[in-house]
């Protein structure tokens, strides 16, 4: 489903340095991995490469049978729209859309028929325990609630891959635990693959396996 | 004073650039026909006290000394000029400037150390400015000089002073030259009609600022008219009119040529007894005794003069040195005209006025 | 070296240094607003100052000026006045408008008695070139510097002048010093003017200086005994005032235009400040998080804004000065209205105005920054983490009552009459209507966007959702564009109404085919000259005599028109407003007054009024009111035979000629001209030519207002663009997220374009609607009160439609372009920002 082979990425500029060196990874549907590593080591860059938002210097990334390197920006966007769901540290809900409309956004973008949108959104909101907040605006929600909306949005269009970048960074531990549990549950329920980028060991432990990103590459974490 | 050059000159002083000389210099313009002054035309009074508008220039000139009570002496000068510029004579407008009138007045107060003076100018007409043809009655607005039963009356409300004076004749008038035909140059038409009235008893009041005082003194009137401008050869002139304490009267002038030599001269001496001697050009001699240089203009004037005529040798000393009149800004003229004391053979002779022109530059025409 | 002060200084200055571009935009915005207002203020100020100066110089040191009808006052008054004991100097002046071959404009020729004029104004005798006697000569004249420059003449040159029935062949004797006379004028001897131009025994005015210590009241009393009816004495201050009134209405109109421009500029400043603060939300939140007190941040932002404001104001003033100088150079002091022809004008700098505009610039910057910064600072750092917070602050903008109250007050003010001759209430009404509309914009946006059709496309949906969610924000973005568009639209409607009404008026007022105008004092209608009009092709001739009469020293003179007319069919000759009712038998003869007479002198139909005709007072019955676009200070029409009966004056200076059907106007004109005496300087004009000229002047006059409006609209566009850029910056995380969840760049672009389009459409619609309302106030209140003439509203639909069609894409583009640049920000980084 996702296969990353020998990907390297460096950034130009005055402090040019290679962030990612010879990274390889393969993920199957239903698999949920955590990537941990020091700050600035390139965890987010890895996600961007996978999402087709940046391109690697070398190596190849294949998502759902499509080689990302061969795609233009629009094609990559369409691929992302169809196959990827995102959860951000800062939630990034549209302030002017109600909770249900925020969740519906990927369906609208994917051209799902209006009739099909309502039931699916309600289903997802129910799944993240926010069935009663469908018409609320994001500003009326707590941080945990907002992130749960974000999880619903990330999975509403049944993506193949969910990318979560520090989803608990802005949350208190209790809410964080709840959100992580939900994220895992929804990924498994939809048989999506999931990559959780975090620097928190405890968060990482909710994944099936933990990979450590270091200057030497991506390697399985030593057993705790 | 006055040679025909002087006539033009003297008129020019007050008329400033309004003199007809300017018009003549231009040459091309059609001149009106001005009457020529001829010998043998007898003066007739009172008609000839009045204005002669056909002639180019005319003036009534009164100078004299006044004293007000405590012995302080003042010199004064009041002049009315009439000029026929030859402009607008056929005009239908009542404003036509065919006759121009000018007046000038100066007061010499030694305590001030400078002259106070003022002037008026107007076109004749509308009853606001006029010169009567019947008798001396000339007026520019509120300035006036008129002759009546008892003599002349001058009313001059000037900027810094007001003169209100009467002049009563003590002696008959004095026709200058040949019965009023006064030559100003070698050509017979270079002449003016000219009579004087010396030894006028002056009385009245002088107001300076808020201070009015009664004054009395002796004055000299000249009335002269002509159409001839200043001779081309002339640079300027010197003129003196002195009322002798003994009742005699001396008038002497000389016209200086451009080469600083005498161009013409003349005058008259009337003894107290009434005998008149007309002075020929060769009988009048002016000799500078002392020069005074104006601190303002740098011009030097012979403010003290010796005048020699047959039978009299006089030295003239000014009431004060600074009697320079700088009218360049308004009329373009710069000259000295002042009250002088005359002495003969070491003894006082009389008081009068001395006029010195053409010392700064020959007036630009 | 690291010190507390150093860090503080860096905190204050670094943002400015780091954002040179942003600072430059803000400075430019303020500069533009200030420049506009200041330029128009300068132009006004200079015009008024120059005008007053010219009049003062002309009047010299006169304490009192005696004047009467345009035709002059009898010269016999002069000695009587000069002889009054209170009068020190009386200087008679005759003034004529002389025509020069090859010049359309007349030269003002003053005939003076130099002896007297020089006592009031000594500089007049100090000319360059010439000699004093030239002031008396009949063939010499002196030119003011302005006139010499205009005619390209110098001392010694010859020129020919014509006025009335007379001609003058003259030589330029010299050039007057600029301190003597500033305007375009020639001076020569009064007698020469009277006699050569056959003016008769009249003078135009007599200027007086009081004797020192004289009692002005005693002089007034003495003058009252001396002066015949229709001749007035006034002090020159009054005359300056009266003459300033001539142009005041026009100047006030310009000033208001400038204020609207400045207002638009302030809105622009406000949006750039909002943009600037939006860009610095992160920085502000960081400072707050670091423990910098709210007040400290606010002060810093305000200090920055003040600095920007000061820079902008300084630049604006320089720009305004240049613009004003250029305008004055190009159009003269009245921007082409033709009121102060020939007056050379340089900008007059007024320190108070400089200070006011500097403060306005700074205030606009600080005010904009304050409004923007307050919302940024007020947010709790934690609350700021939640998107959508700033919308809360704008919710208060959606209250409807303040806007509604403004509109109601504005509507009421439109019914308040003029104050001191100025339509102050009308302007207030316009201001309140504008502010009220701006205040209601959020509400309007909410309603409008709720009505917008729903579409499937994500960009459409998102754009609409975003607009519906934040109508307050939309309202703010739109303020400048609504203000400028409404200004443009209202002016366009007003001008079109005016032009349309003017055309109708010309049709009524110019029914004949040929018009003949004699010069000043030239007379065409002597009965003896009748024969010269018996030309083949001429069907009918009407004569008209025109003169200026002064009814009240507080007002400029009014025009008396003695016309051949059919009193029963007066509607054929005059553009009547309402009916004409002829007086009952035995009542005084009829007079028809222009609307200005109603406004200024309170004349009503049926009133019996007294008019001084050539020194004689005669009673007339006001039979009707007519519309007059030619004479804003008032005009009275009476029958010419009535005038002749009362004054014995049969002559007239103007004639209208009706042609036989099929007659060739040019041929008839040539015939008529050939029968005129050779010296007669008369002008024969075809009606079409008069219309052409009139409309040409009309269009030229308004050309400059178009330029001002265009600048205002440009500022409005800038402002829209800037506020969209600000919004887009605030929303860059949103765009980042949308890219992540799969919106293409094009879709985001389309969304922004849709938002821009929708907002622009709303702004245009609101601006045009408001413009229509403002036009009604302009036409029926401001113009009526300023110029005392009425007009019919005429909406130039094609023009407005074309304007809308051009503006809509322009505004959409401006909005989109503004947002586009901000949205181009790296989407990948944007999502990492937490604020």
The 10s digit of each residue's pLDDT in A14-57 is: 666 777 888 899 999 989 999 998 887 888 888 888 988 888 88
Q: Where is average pLDDT lowest: A51-60, C58-67, C491-500? A: C58-67
Centre a 10 Å sphere on the Cβ of residue C684 and count the other Cβ atoms it contains: 19
In the numeric block, the tokens 């019955």 are attached to C621
Are A54 and C828 in contact (CB < 8 Å)? yes
Q: Does B66 touch chain C (CB under 8 A)?
A: no
Say if residue C292's pLDDT is above 80.
Answer: no
Mean pLDDT for the stretch of residues C16-28? 70
Residue B178 to residue B184: CA distance in whole angstroms: 12
- CA triplet C742, C745, C749: central angle to 5 degrees? 120
Q: Where is average pLDDT lowest: A147-156, C618-627, C719-728? A: C719-728
- pLDDT value at position C226? 84
Residues of A in contact with C462 (CB under 8 A): 94, 97
Residue A128 to residue C411: CA distance in whole angstroms: 55
Q: Does B89 touch chain C (CB under 8 A)?
A: no
Identify any residues that bridge with A173 across adjacent strands, giving them in sequence order.
none
Mean pLDDT for the stretch of residues A91-117? 89
- How many domains, chain B? 1
Nearest to A105 by CA among B346, C748, B111: C748
Given the DSSP bridges, would you call strands B73-83 and B100-109 parallel, antiparallel or unpaired?
antiparallel
The two three-digit tokens of residue C367, written as one number: 């005010």
Interface test with C, best of A77, A87, A143 (most C CBs within 10 A): A77
- pLDDT value at position B338? 93
The two three-digit tokens of residue C816, written as one number: 């989109």
Q: Where is average pLDDT lowest: C327-341, C384-398, C717-731? A: C384-398
Residue B346 to residue A14: CA distance in whole angstroms: 114
Minimum distance, in Å, between the CA of residue B333 and any CA atom of chain C: 13
The two three-digit tokens of residue A133, written as one number: 């907040």
- CA triplet B17, B20, B26: central angle to 5 degrees? 90
- pLDDT value at position C830? 64
Tell me how far the alpha carbon of residue C625 is from its chain's centroid.
26
Minimum distance, in Å, between the CA of residue C132 and any CA atom of chain B: 6
Give chain C's mean pLDDT.
79
Query: A106: nearest CA in chain C?
Result: C741
- pLDDT value at position C522? 53
Enumerate residues 6+ apart whose C-beta is below 8 A from B211.
none
User: Percent of chain A having pLDDT more than 90?
Assistant: 29
Using CB atoms, which chains have 3+ pairs under 8 A with B? C
The two three-digit tokens of residue C678, written as one number: 């050779």
Q: How confident is the model at residue C63 (pLDDT cuts 50, 70, 90)?
A: confident
CATH of domain A31-53+83-220: 3.40.50.300
Q: Is the dihedral of CA A96, A101, A105, A111 positive or negative?
A: negative
In the numeric block, the tokens 């071959």 are attached to C101
Question: Is the preceding peptide bond at B46 cis, omega within 30 degrees of 0?
Answer: yes
Using DSSP's 3-state secondary structure scheme, residue B191 falls into: strand
Minimum distance, in Å, between the CA of residue A95 and any CA atom of chain C: 5
Residue C301 to residue C313: CA distance in whole angstroms: 18
Are C388 and A138 in contact (CB < 8 Å)? yes
Using DSSP's 3-state secondary structure scheme, residue B213 falls into: strand
Given the DSSP bridges, would you call strands B347-356 and B234-244 parallel, antiparallel or unpaired?
antiparallel
Given the DSSP bridges, would you call strands C635-639 and C590-594 parallel, antiparallel or unpaired?
antiparallel
- pLDDT value at position C16? 61
What phi, psi does B36 have (nearest 5°)? -100, 145
- pLDDT value at position C704? 65
Give the domain CATH number at B233.
2.40.370.10
Dihedral angle over CA of A81, A87, A91, A95, nearest 10: 20
- pLDDT value at position C693? 76
Q: Name the helix (H) or strand (E) containing C281.
A: helix C281-289
- pLDDT value at position C778? 87
Dihedral angle over CA of C819, C820, C824, C830, nearest 10: 30
Centre a 10 Å sphere on the Cβ of residue C706 and count the other Cβ atoms it contains: 14
Largest CA distance in chain C: 103
Residue C38 to residue C14: CA distance in whole angstroms: 31
Residue C565 to residue C639: CA distance in whole angstroms: 6
- What are the residue ranges in chain B where pLDDT is below 70? 1-31, 69, 229-230, 260, 327-332, 361-365
DSSP classification of residue C782: I
Q: Which residue of C392, C462, C742 is in closest CB contact with A77?
A: C742
The residue that leads in pLDDT, C390 or B115, is B115
**Chain A to chain C Cβ contacts (< 8 Å):** 103
Helix ranges (H only) for A3-142 are 43-51, 73-83, 99-109, 114-127
CA distances from B186 to B40, B266, C64 (A): 17, 12, 54
The two three-digit tokens of residue C250, written as one number: 């026009």
Residues of C in contact with A78 (CB under 8 A): 742, 744
Helix ranges (H only) for chain B are 4-15, 20-26
Q: Which residue of C470, C733, C742 is in closest CB contact with A92?
A: C733
Identify any residues that bridge with A4 across adjacent strands, giving them in sequence order.
A25, A61
The residue that leads in pLDDT, C365 or B78, is B78
pTM of the predicted model as reported, rounded to 2 decimal places? 0.65
Chains C and B touch (3+ CB pairs under 8 A): yes
C126 class by beta-carbon count within 10 Å (0-12 exposed, 13-18 middle, 19+ buried): middle
- Are C23 and C369 a contacting pair, CB within 8 Å? no
Minimum distance, in Å, between the CA of residue C283 and any CA atom of chain A: 17
Q: Name the helix (H) or strand (E) containing B143.
A: strand B143-148
Minimum distance, in Å, between the CA of residue A134 and any CA atom of chain C: 16
The two three-digit tokens of residue A176, written as one number: 């964080």
Q: Is residue B362 part of a domain?
A: no
Helix ranges (H only) for C625-731 are 640-647, 665-675, 687-730
Residue A117 to residue A106: CA distance in whole angstroms: 10
- pLDDT value at position B267? 94
Residue span of the structural domain in which B206 resides = 4-33+45-356
Helix axes C236-279, C294-331, angle to 10 degrees: 140
- Are C811 and C717 a contacting pair, CB within 8 Å? yes
Query: A154: nearest CA in chain C?
Result: C741
Query: C138: nearest CA in chain B?
Result: B88
- Are C765 and C479 a contacting pair, CB within 8 Å? no
Q: What is the pLDDT of residues C431-474, one digit of tens each?
A: 899 889 988 988 888 888 888 887 878 888 888 888 888 787 78
Identify any residues that bridge with B240 across adjacent strands, giving them in sequence order.
B252, B354
- pLDDT value at position B24? 37
- Are C819 and C525 a contacting pair, CB within 8 Å? no
Tell me how far the alpha carbon of residue C202 is from its chain's centroid.
36
CA distances from C235 to B245, C90, C310 (A): 56, 14, 44
Using CB atoms, which chains have 3+ pairs under 8 A with A? C
- pLDDT value at position C51? 56
- pLDDT value at position C827? 61
Q: Where is average pLDDT lowest: B69-83, B290-304, C56-70, C757-771? A: C56-70
Q: Does C124 touch chain B (CB under 8 A)?
A: no
Q: Which residue of C75, C82, C189 is in closest CB contact with B97?
A: C189
Q: Which residue of A73, A97, A139 is in closest CB contact with C386?
A: A139
Q: Is residue B280 part of a domain?
A: yes
Centre a 10 Å sphere on the Cβ of residue B62 and count the other Cβ atoms it contains: 25
Mean pLDDT for the stretch of residues C327-356? 64
Enumerate residues 6+ apart whose C-beta is below 8 A from A148.
A128, A129, A130, A178, A179, A182
Minimum distance, in Å, between the CA of residue B284 and any CA atom of chain C: 36
Q: What is the pLDDT of residues C640-673, one digit of tens each?
A: 888 888 888 777 778 888 888 888 888 888 887 7
Are B87 and C137 in contact (CB < 8 Å)? yes
Tell me how far the alpha carbon of residue C237 is from its chain's centroid.
24
- pLDDT value at position A84? 92
Are A90 and C385 in contact (CB < 8 Å)? yes
The two three-digit tokens of residue C305, written as one number: 């804004």
Residues of C in contact with A54 (CB under 8 A): 828
Dihedral angle over CA of C29, C30, C31, C34, nearest 10: 130
- CA triplet C426, C430, C436: central angle to 5 degrees? 140
Tell me how far the alpha carbon of residue B219 is from its chain's centroid.
12
Are B88 and C195 in contact (CB < 8 Å)? yes
Tell me how far the alpha carbon of residue A41 is from its chain's centroid.
18
- CA triplet C712, C715, C721: central angle to 5 degrees? 145
Q: Which residue of B97, B100, B128 is in closest CB contact with C191?
A: B97
Question: Which residues of C have a CB under 8 Å from any CB of A?
Answer: 385-389, 391-392, 456, 458, 461-462, 465-466, 468-470, 733-734, 736-737, 739-746, 827-828, 831-834
In the numeric block, the tokens 């009386």 are attached to C90
Provide the strand spans (E) within C567-681.
576-577, 590-594, 608-613, 616-626, 635-639, 654-659
Enumerate residues 6+ apart whose C-beta is below 8 A from A22.
A6, A7, A8, A59, A217
Helix ranges (H only) for C152-203 are 190-196
Interface test with B, best of C74, C82, C131, C135 (most B CBs within 10 A): C131
Minimum distance, in Å, between the CA of residue A110 and any CA atom of chain C: 9
Q: Which residue of B23, B91, B93 is in closest CB contact with C133?
A: B23
Q: Name the helix (H) or strand (E) containing B277.
A: strand B276-279
Query: C124: nearest CA in chain B?
Result: B330
Provide the strand spans (E) within C312-449.
none
Residues of B in contact with C189 (CB under 8 A): 88, 95, 97
């Amino acid at each position: 489903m996702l296969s990353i082979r020998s990907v390297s990425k460096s950034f130009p500029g005055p402090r040019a340095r290679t962030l990612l060196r010879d990274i390889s990874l393969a993920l199957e549907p239903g698999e949920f991995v955590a990537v941990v590593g020091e700050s600035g080591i390139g965890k987010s860059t890895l996600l961007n490469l996978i999402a087709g938002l940046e391109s690697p210097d070398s190596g190849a990334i294949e998502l759902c049978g499509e080689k990302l390197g061969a795609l233009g920006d629009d094609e990559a966007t369409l691929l992302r729209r169809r196959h990827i769901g995102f959860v951000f540290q800062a939630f990034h809900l549209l302030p002017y859309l109600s909770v249900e409309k925020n969740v519906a956004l990927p369906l609208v973008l994917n051209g799902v028929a209006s009739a099909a949108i309502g039931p699916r959104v309600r289903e997802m909101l129910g799944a993240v325990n926010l069935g009663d907040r469908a018409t609320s605006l994001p500003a009326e929600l707590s941080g945990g609630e907002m992130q749960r909306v974000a999880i619903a949005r990330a999975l509403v269009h049944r993506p193949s891959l969910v990318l979560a970048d520090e989803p608990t960074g802005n949350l208190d531990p209790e809410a964080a635990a709840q959100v992580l549990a939900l994220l895992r549950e929804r990924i498994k329920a939809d048989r999506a693959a999931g990559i959780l980028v975090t620097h928190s060991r405890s968060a990482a432990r909710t994944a099936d396996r933990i990979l450590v990103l270091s200057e030497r590459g991506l390697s399985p974490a030593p057993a705790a | 004073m006055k040679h025909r050059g002087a006539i033009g000159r003297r008129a020019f002083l007050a008329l400033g650039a309004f003199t007809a000389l300017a018009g003549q210099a231009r040459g091309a313009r059609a001149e009106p026909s001005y009457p020529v002054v001829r010998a043998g035309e007898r003066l007739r009074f009172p008609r000839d006290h009045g204005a002669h508008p056909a002639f180019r220039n005319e003036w009534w000139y009164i100078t004299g000394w006044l004293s007000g009570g405590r012995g302080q002496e003042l010199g004064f000068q009041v002049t009315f000029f009439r000029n026929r510029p030859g402009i607008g004579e056929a005009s239908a407008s009542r404003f036509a400037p065919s006759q121009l009138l000018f007046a000038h007045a100066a007061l010499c107060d030694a305590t001030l150390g400078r002259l106070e003076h003022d002037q008026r100018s107007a076109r004749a007409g509308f009853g606001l400015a006029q010169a009567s043809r019947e008798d001396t009655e000339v007026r520019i607005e509120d300035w006036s000089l008129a002759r009546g039963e008892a003599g002349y009356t001058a009313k001059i409300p000037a900027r810094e002073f007001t003169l209100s004076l009467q002049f009563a004749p003590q002696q008959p008038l004095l026709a200058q030259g040949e019965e009023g035909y006064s030559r100003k140059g070698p050509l017979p038409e270079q002449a003016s009609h000219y009579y004087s009235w010396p030894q006028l008893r002056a009385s009245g009041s002088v107001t300076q600022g808020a201070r009015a005082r009664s004054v009395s003194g002796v004055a000299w009137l000249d009335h002269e008219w002509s159409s001839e401008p200043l001779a081309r050869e002339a640079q300027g002139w010197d003129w003196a009119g002195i009322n002798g304490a003994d009742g005699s009267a001396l008038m002497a002038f000389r016209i200086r040529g451009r080469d600083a030599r005498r161009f013409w001269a003349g005058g008259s001496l009337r003894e107290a007894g009434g005998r008149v001697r007309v002075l020929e050009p060769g009988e009048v001699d002016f000799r500078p005794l002392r020069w005074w240089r104006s601190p303002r203009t740098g011009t030097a004037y012979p403010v003290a003069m010796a005048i020699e005529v047959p039978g009299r040798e006089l030295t003239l000393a000014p009431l004060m040195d600074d009697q320079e009149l700088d009218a360049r800004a308004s009329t373009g003229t710069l000259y000295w005209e002042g009250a002088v004391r005359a002495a003969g053979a070491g003894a006082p002779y009389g008081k009068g006025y001395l006029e010195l022109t053409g010392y700064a530059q020959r007036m630009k025409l | 070296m690291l010190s507390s002060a150093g860090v503080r200084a860096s905190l204050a200055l670094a943002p400015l240094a780091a954002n040179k571009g942003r600072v430059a935009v803000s400075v430019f915005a303020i500069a533009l607003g200030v420049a506009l207002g200041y330029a128009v203020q300068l132009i006004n100020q200079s015009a008024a100052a120059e005008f007053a100066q010219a009049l003062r110089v002309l009047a010299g040191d006169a304490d009192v000026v005696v004047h009467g009808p345009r035709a002059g006052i009898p010269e016999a008054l002069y000695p009587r006045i000069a002889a009054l004991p209170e009068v020190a100097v009386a200087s008679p002046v005759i003034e004529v408008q002389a025509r020069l071959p090859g010049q359309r404009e007349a030269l003002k020729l003053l005939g003076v008695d130099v002896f007297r004029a020089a006592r009031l104004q000594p500089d007049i005798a100090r000319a360059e070139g010439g000699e004093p006697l030239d002031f008396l000569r009949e063939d010499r004249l002196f030119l003011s510097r302005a006139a010499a420059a205009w005619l390209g003449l110098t001392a010694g040159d010859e020129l020919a002048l014509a006025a009335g029935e007379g001609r003058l062949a003259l030589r330029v004797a010299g050039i007057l010093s600029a301190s003597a006379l500033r305007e375009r004028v020639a001076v020569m001897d009064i007698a020469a003017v009277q006699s050569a131009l056959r003016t008769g025994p009249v003078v135009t005015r007599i200027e007086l200086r009081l004797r020192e210590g004289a009692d002005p009241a005693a002089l007034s009393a003495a003058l009252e005994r001396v002066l015949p009816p229709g001749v007035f004495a006034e002090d020159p201050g009054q005359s300056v005032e009266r003459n300033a009134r001539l142009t005041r209405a026009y100047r006030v109109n310009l000033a208001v235009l400038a204020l609207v421009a400045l207002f638009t500029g302030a809105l622009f400043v406000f949006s750039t400040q909002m943009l600037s603060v939006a860009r610095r939300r992160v920085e502000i939140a960081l400072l707050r998080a670091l423990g910098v007190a709210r007040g400290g941040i606010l002060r810093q932002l305000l200090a920055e804004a003040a600095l920007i404001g000061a820079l902008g104001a300084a630049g604006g003033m320089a720009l305004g000065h240049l613009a004003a100088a250029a305008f004055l150079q190009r159009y003269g002091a009245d921007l082409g209205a033709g009121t102060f022809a020939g007056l050379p004008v340089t900008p007059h700098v007024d320190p108070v105005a400089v200070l006011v505009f500097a403060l306005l610039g700074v205030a606009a910057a600080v005010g904009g920054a304050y409004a923007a910064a307050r919302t940024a600072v007020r947010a709790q750092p934690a609350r700021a983490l939640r998107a959508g917070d700033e919308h809360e602050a704008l919710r208060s903008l959606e209250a409807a009552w303040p806007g509604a109250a403004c509109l109601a007050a504005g509507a009421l003010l439109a019914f308040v009459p003029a104050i001191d001759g100025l339509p102050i209430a009308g302007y207030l009404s316009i201001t309140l209507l504008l502010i009220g509309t701006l205040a209601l914009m959020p509400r309007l946006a909410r309603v409008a966007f709720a009505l917008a059709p729903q579409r499937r496309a994500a960009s459409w949906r998102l754009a609409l959702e975003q607009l519906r969610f934040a109508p307050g924000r939309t309202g703010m973005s739109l303020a400048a564009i609504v203000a400028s568009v409404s200004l443009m639209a209202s002016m366009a409607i007003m001008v079109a109404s005016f032009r349309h009404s003017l055309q109708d008026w010309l049709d009524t007022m110019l029914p004949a085919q040929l018009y003949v105008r004699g010069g000043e004092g030239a007379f065409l209608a002597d009965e003896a000259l009748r024969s010269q009009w018996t030309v083949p092709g001429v069907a009918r001739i009407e004569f008209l005599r025109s003169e200026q009469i002064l009814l009240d020293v507080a007002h400029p003179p009014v025009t008396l028109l003695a016309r051949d007319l059919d009193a029963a069919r007066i509607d054929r000759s005059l553009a009547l407003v309402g009916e004409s009712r002829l007086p009952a038998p035995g009542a005084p003869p009829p007079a028809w007054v222009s609307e200005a007479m109603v406004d200024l002198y309170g004349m009503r139909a049926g009133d019996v009024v007294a008019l001084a005709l050539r020194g004689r007072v005669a009673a007339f019955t006001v039979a009707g009111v007519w519309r007059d676009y030619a004479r804003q200070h008032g005009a009275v029409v009476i029958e010419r035979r009535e005038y002749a009966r009362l004054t014995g004056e049969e002559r007239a200076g103007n004639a209208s000629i009706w042609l036989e059907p099929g007659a060739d106007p040019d041929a008839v004109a040539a015939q008529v001209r050939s029968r005129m005496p050779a010296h007669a300087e008369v002008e024969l004009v075809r009606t079409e030519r008069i219309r052409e000229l009139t409309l040409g002047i009309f269009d030229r006059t308004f050309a400059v207002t178009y330029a001002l409006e265009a600048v205002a609209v440009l500022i409005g566009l800038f402002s829209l663009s800037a506020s969209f850029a600000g919004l887009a910056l605030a929303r860059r995380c949103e765009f980042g997220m949308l890219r992540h969840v799969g919106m293409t760049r094009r879709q985001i672009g389309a969304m922004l374009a849709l938002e821009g389009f929708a907002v622009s459409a709303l702004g245009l619609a609101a601006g045009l609607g408001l413009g229509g309302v403002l036009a009604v106030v302009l036409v029926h209140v401001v113009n009526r009160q300023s110029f005392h003439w009425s007009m019919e509203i005429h909406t130039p639909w094609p023009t407005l439609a074309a304007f809308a069609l051009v503006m809509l894409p322009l505004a959409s583009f401006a909005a989109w372009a503004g947002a586009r640049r901000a949205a181009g920000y790296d989407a990948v980084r944007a999502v990492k920002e937490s604020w």
